[in-house]
Amino acid sequence: MRVLKPVERTPNRTHQRPVRPRTVARWRRAPGLVLLVMMLLGANAPAGAAPEQGNADSVYWRISTERGLAGYLLGTIHSEDARVVDFPESLVKQLTSCEVFAMEMVPDLPTLSRLTDYMHHAETGVLEDQLGAERYARVMQALSGYQVPDPWKARMKAWAVLLTLSVPPPQTGFFMDLSLSLRAAGSGMRVTGLETLDEQLSFLENMPLDFQIRLLDQALAEYHDVGEIHRMMVDAYLTGSLERLESLSDQQFEQLEEPVRAYFTTQGIDARNQRMMENLDPLLGESRVFVAVGALHLPGEQGLIALLRAAGYRLDALPSPFVAESPAPVTAAGGG
């Protein structure tokens, strides 16, 4: 079992270190890989100034009905950065005021075991045949910096490799979504998934191989800078601006070829949002629910904010828990 390493509390949650211009330039011309990570593992974008607290632009929302508070909706980022796993007391209080914690998929031991099976071909040699000798050798070199057992590397699927290389090598394994679920379970809340493993991975399993290889090539070109790029993503998340994240994702979408863009939109976001909404709606009808899903599942006409409003719920924007809090919650007229 991994031991959680102690982390230092960051006094200034939006402090930013200088970033190399070369890294910024590479990040801006790497839409495919960054977009994939944004869809599957949370939201990220270049760093920027904090948004005004007087509008409805937030990654954090209150869900209400005519009967009163129904729960909270938090857009998350797949990161173990101390700035997003060192939860403010105000967030913990709102989390534990709920009876149910709903996340994309519950990472219990049976699920993680099946995930490992999903990520690998049954036989060695498939990946090398798909990639060719030169690209395969580059993959093996890139994976040497990750704690992947040697016998597993040769059997990995292309999508599993590109996702592995899209984030820095794990240090603790306690990512934001997992840390929230552990805090919830420790408080006696029921932890449930809005998708099954099969449902979530169908997007990756069914991705055309040529899409996977294009994204893998991008991962191989960028993995040396993944630490800095990931920090930039967290810096952006800490601004709390959902509109900024959506705008940047739109810019990246425009740079993708139409078939890739259509696949990501329909299968990676819209279909998953509909499925999560179908499972979330009955939960909200019976319990107070704290919902935590990747931030890019929130915005847009097919996003969870719009789907919840269409189902009759009121959504009010709250200040992001990870930026300086204003004296009073930010509210916005919601549908319902």
Give residue 102's domain range. Answer: 21-119+157-318
Residue 131 resides in a domain = no
pLDDT, tens digit (0-9, with 9 covering 90-100), for 53-70: 334 689 999 999 999 999
CA 44 to chain CA centroid, Å, is 8
In whole angstroms, give the CA distance from residue 336 to residue 314. 5
Residue 204 resides in a domain = yes
Q: What six digits make up the tokens of 321?
A: 């828990």
Residue 47 resides in a domain = yes
When divided into structural domains, the chain yields a total of 1
Strand partners, 103: 193, 292
- Whether pTM > 0.85 for this model: the answer is no
Phi, psi of 266, rounded to the nearest 5 degrees: -75, -40
Residue 126 resides in a domain = no
Residue 10 resides in a domain = no
pLDDT tier for residue 161 given thresholds of 50, 70 and 90: very high
Give me the amino acid identity at 97. Answer: S
3-class DSSP state of 293: strand
Residue corresponding to tokens 């211009």: 21
Residue 104 resides in a domain = yes
Q: DSSP code of 225?
A: G
Residue 5 resides in a domain = no
In whole angstroms, give the CA distance from residue 77 to residue 42. 4
In whole angstroms, give the CA distance from residue 86 to residue 39. 23
Residue 333 resides in a domain = no
pLDDT, tens digit (0-9, with 9 covering 90-100), for 100-148: 999 999 988 888 889 989 999 999 999 999 999 999 999 999 999 998 8
